[in-house]
Amino acid sequence: MAFLKEPPHTHGAPSGSAVVLVNLGTPEAPTRPAVRRYLRQFLSDPRVVEIPRALWWFILNLVILPFRSGKSAAKYASIWTREGSPLKVHTQLQAQLLRGALGERGHGDVTVAMAMRYGSPSLPDVLARLKADGCDRVVVLPAYPQYSGTTTGSIYDAVFAHYKRVRNVPELRFVRNYHDDDGYIAALAKSVLAHWDQHGRGGKLVLSFHGVPKRTLLLGDPYHCECMKTARLLAAKLKLKPEDYVVTFQSRFGKAEWLQPYTAPTVRQLARDGARRVDVICPGFVSDCLETLEEIAMEVRHDFLSAGGKEFHYIPCLNEHPAWIAALAEIAEQHMIGWPTMRTSAQREGLKREGETARAAALKLGAEN
């Protein structure tokens, strides 16, 4: 095994701390070739698809990639913005705002970087850059509130695989989950209440989480339980009765049974049962993306209205919501306890200005969309 090239160790050299905000990933463009490259990397991960590799190679390369890439590219094109992929834009803004929030809390000596598990900027490239910049303390913060082996576990794999080739490995800390974090739950509640203040309240709140195969639950993955706990805590924060909300799972892929109930059939049945309006929020996504903007806000909306419903309200993800950025900073801060992270007041003021610039960009993005 060959180690990656790194600069010689210098005794007494200043060291730094870093937080890496890691999201799933996105194609570089809403085109068939770009989507094909992205899907190949994503669906080749054995954490994502647990099918014998030889069999899956034929299914992926001879069935899925030739026929699904074009359809997926059209879906991405329907939600693409002038700035690029919504997921990438929101994650980058979150990283910038997180750096500003940490600076305002006095943790100015912290680098905050954004990385993607699949696509660009790749997690190995970001970790290598932080190493070159002298960061020898790294917090890995997945953009997944609920732990699953298919998501957070895959990030662990990528981090360990990268550092297996590094001679001088930095101190590592991982954020495993924050599905029941007070700040995260409060941010979700504030986003729901803000939507209700502006648009009124619907008769049923649908909490749609990304689905995973049911077998993962039976094999010990805690994802389902953590989704249900998030839902219970959010409902309690909003003072909802059991009949006021329903938990569903979206994005089913393939013929195997996934976690149920499924979002689209549930919403259609609500319409058939006489529900005139539903409000849908996706608590498992902290950034709007294909699964929220196209699958929920377009496809599921169409399903509800076609089944007889009258009003469909999609409540956006947390994105750059100030309460969410504050919660993110608190989570990062908790995982840096004991590390030297402070800077001078002048440096904190500079970071505060950076945060204000990022907030202005977030507001502009929200106005354009």
Fill in the DSSP letter of residue 228: H
Residue in 115, 92, 94 with CA at minimum distance from that of residue 22: 115
Fill in the DSSP letter of residue 295: I
One-letter amino acid of 201: R
Q: In this structure, what are the phi and psi dihedrals at residue 317, rounded to the nearest 5 degrees?
A: -65, 175
One-letter amino acid of 96: Q
Q: How far is CA 252 from CA 37, 113, 255, 263, 304, in A?
A: 21, 31, 9, 9, 18
| Residue 291 assigned as binding residue | yes
| Residue 50 assigned as binding residue | no
Whether 169 and 287 have beta carbons less than 8 Å apart is answered as: no
Whether 341 and 103 have beta carbons less than 8 Å apart is answered as: no
Q: State how far the Cα of 105 lies from the Cα of 2, in Å rounded to an integer.
A: 41
Q: State how far the Cα of 162 lies from the Cα of 227, in Å rounded to an integer.
A: 30
One-letter amino acid of 337: I
Other C-beta atoms lying within 10 Å of the C-beta of residue 150: 19
- Residues annotated within the binding site are 210, 291
Q: Detail the residues annotated as belonging to a binding site for Fe(2+).
A: 210, 291
